[in-house]
Amino acid sequence: MCASSLVDVWRIGESMSAPRGYSLGWSSWRTVPRSWLARLHFVLHHDFCPGANRWVYWMKHPFWLVLAAAVTAVLCGVFVSPVVLILGATLLGLLLVGVFWPLLAVGGLTVRLRFRQSRCREGEPVEVELEVTNRWPWPAWGLRLSQGFRWGDKDQSGLTVAGVSGWSTDTIDAVFTPPCRGIYPRHPPWVETAFPFGLYSARKPLAEWNTLVVWPASTTLHTLPDAAEIEAREDHTSDRRAGDVGDVLGTRWFRQGDSLRRVHWAQSARQGRLIVCERQQPVSCAMRLVLDLDPRSHGGEGSEASLERLLRTAASIIESMHAQHAVVECVVGRTCHVVRSPASDLKRCLDALAAIPAEGLADCAEHGGCCAAGLRHRALSEYVLTTAKGFAALRHRRHWSANHHFIVVGAAATPMPDGCRDHEHCGCRPWLELSAADDVLTALPRRWERACRVA
C-alpha cells in the first residue's frame, strides 16, 4: 500500500466506491460526512491491489481458516504446551467431518428433475417436480440444485431441499422463475450439499432432467406498417381466413355474388342445392426481420443487456404480425424462419430466439442484404433490428434503398450521415428508435404505431 494511494482514499478520491446518495468527487466533499468513522469506513472497503485478488481470495473460505487454526494449534501443542493439542485435534476432527460427511451424503442420492411445462416466458413462474432418492439409512440435509440455473455469476434457481429421510424417495414440488430467456437448465445441473459445517460442498450430477424453453417477453402491437411499404403476395396465404386463392379450406352454401367457378358440382348434385368451395386468402403483408446478433454490436449484462432488449422487440413484432395474419421471415444468423399461419411456425421461431447464446452469434449473414438461405430473389421489405453500435457500422456499407428499415434498440438519437440528407426515403436514418432509458415492453407499442403512421 503506497502513501499516495492511502491519502487519495482518505480524501475520498474518484476511484473509491461510496454509499448510495454520496458523490465521490473532491469537489463534492461537502456531501460526505467529515467524521473519522466515515473516512475509516471508506479506507477499509477500498481494494488497493485488485490484481492480487485471485491469489488471496481462497483465504476467505472457512475451510482454510479452520485448517490454519488447526495447524497453529498443533504447532503450539508441540513446541509450547501439549494441552493445545486437544484443540488442534478437535479442529482437525471438524475438518474431517465437514469434508467426508457431504461426500458420503451425496454419494447415496439420486435426483431427477422435471418441469411440468415445456415452454414459458421470462419472469413467469414454472412448477418443478424434484424426485430425490436416498439409498443410505441416514438422512441428507441442506440439498441445493446448482449450475444449470445460473445467469451470469448469480444462481437464480432457488431450488433447495431441506432434507430427505434415509431409505426413502421423496417428491418435492418447487417453483422456478427464469430470470431471462434461454433453454434451462443452461448447463448440466448438479445437486450439492455443504452440511453440516459449510466447510466443503460436495456435488453430484442429476440422474435425469428435461428442458424448459423460455421465450423472450413480448408486448402486443396493434398496427401493421404502411401498405405502401409491404407487399401482399398470393404465394403467402392464411388458412384462418377464407378467400379466393390457395388451397381449399372447406365448403359452404352458395351466397349471392359467389363466382360459379367456385361451385362444387358433385356436392351440389348430391345435396340438391349449390355448394361452393372456400379457399385461402392472401395475407395482408409479408416482411423480413433481420436480427443483428454480432457480439460487437451488443453490451450489458443480464436481462437488461442490449441483446435481450433486441430479442424482446423481435418477439413482439413476430407475434403481433402473426396475430394479424402476416407472414414474417425472421433471419437468425444464417437461418431463415418463415412464420406463416400455423402456430407451429411461431413456436419454432420463438424457440430459435430462446436458443440464441447470451453472447450472441459471431457467424451471422451480412445485415441489410438477404442471408445465405436463398432469399435474394424475394422482394420483401426488410427490417433490420440492431443497436447504436451496429447501426453506426451498417449504415456506411452502402446506400440503403426505401425497402430497408432500421429498428435501433437501446440507442440515443442518431444523426443521419452526410450525403444522405436529401433522400427522403434513405435507410440511413432509423425507422424506429428505442433509447437505453426506455422500457421495451412499454415504449415499443407507442413508437411502433407512430412509425407505421408516419411511414
Q: What is the pLDDT of residues 372-418, one digit of tens each?
A: 444 444 567 888 899 888 888 776 655 455 677 889 987 444 444 44
For residues 38 and 86, membership in a common domain is answered with no
Domains contained in the chain, number: 4
For residues 418 and 343, membership in a common domain is answered with yes
Cell numbers for 408: 435501433
For residues 68 and 203, membership in a common domain is answered with yes
Query: How confident is the model over 129-187, as pLDDT tens digits?
Result: 999 999 999 999 999 988 877 654 454 556 788 889 999 999 999 888 888 999 999 88
Could you write out the DSSP letters of every residue in 248-289? EEEEEE--TT--GGGB-HHHHHHHTS-EEEEEEEE-S-EEEE
For the cut 90, the answer to whether the pLDDT of residue 429 exceeds it is: no
CA atoms within 13 A on the CB side of 75: 6
For residues 38 and 63, membership in a common domain is answered with no
* pLDDT band (50, 70, 90) for residue 436: confident
DSSP-assigned beta bridge partners for residue 146:
190
CA–CA separation, 438 vs 446, rounded Å?
11
Closest CA to 193 of 150, 132, 151, 113: 132
For residues 243 and 192, membership in a common domain is answered with no
For residues 68 and 125, membership in a common domain is answered with yes
Helix H or strand E encompassing 322: helix 306-323
Interhelix angle 440-454/306-323, rounded to 10 degrees, is 60
Asked if 210 contacts 113 with a C-beta cutoff of 8 angstroms, the reply is: yes
318 is a domain residue: yes
For residues 147 and 174, membership in a common domain is answered with yes
For residues 181 and 291, membership in a common domain is answered with no
What is the reported pLDDT for 48? 76
What is the reported pLDDT for 420? 46
Write the DSSP symbol of residue 303. Answer: G
Write the CATH number for 73.
Answer: 2.60.40.10
Tell me which residue range forms the domain holding 333: 286-454
For residues 193 and 264, membership in a common domain is answered with no
Lowest mean pLDDT of 231-235, 258-262, 281-285, 297-301, name the range: 231-235
For residues 249 and 166, membership in a common domain is answered with no
Query: How confident is the model over 53-80, as pLDDT tens digits?
Result: 777 777 778 888 899 999 999 999 999 8
Residues 6+ apart with CB under 8 A from 227: 285
Domain boundary among 223, 252, 282: 282
DSSP-assigned beta bridge partners for residue 175:
127
The helix/strand/coil state of 44 is helix
230 is a domain residue: no
For residues 113 and 148, membership in a common domain is answered with yes
Asked if 322 contacts 338 with a C-beta cutoff of 8 angstroms, the reply is: no
Percentage of the chain with pLDDT > 70?
74
Burial of residue 282 (CB within 10 Å: 0-12, 13-18, 19+) is buried
For residues 56 and 205, membership in a common domain is answered with yes
Mean pLDDT, the chain, rounded, equals: 78
367 is a domain residue: yes
What is the reported pLDDT for 400? 56
Higher per-residue confidence, 25 vs 179: 179
223 is a domain residue: no
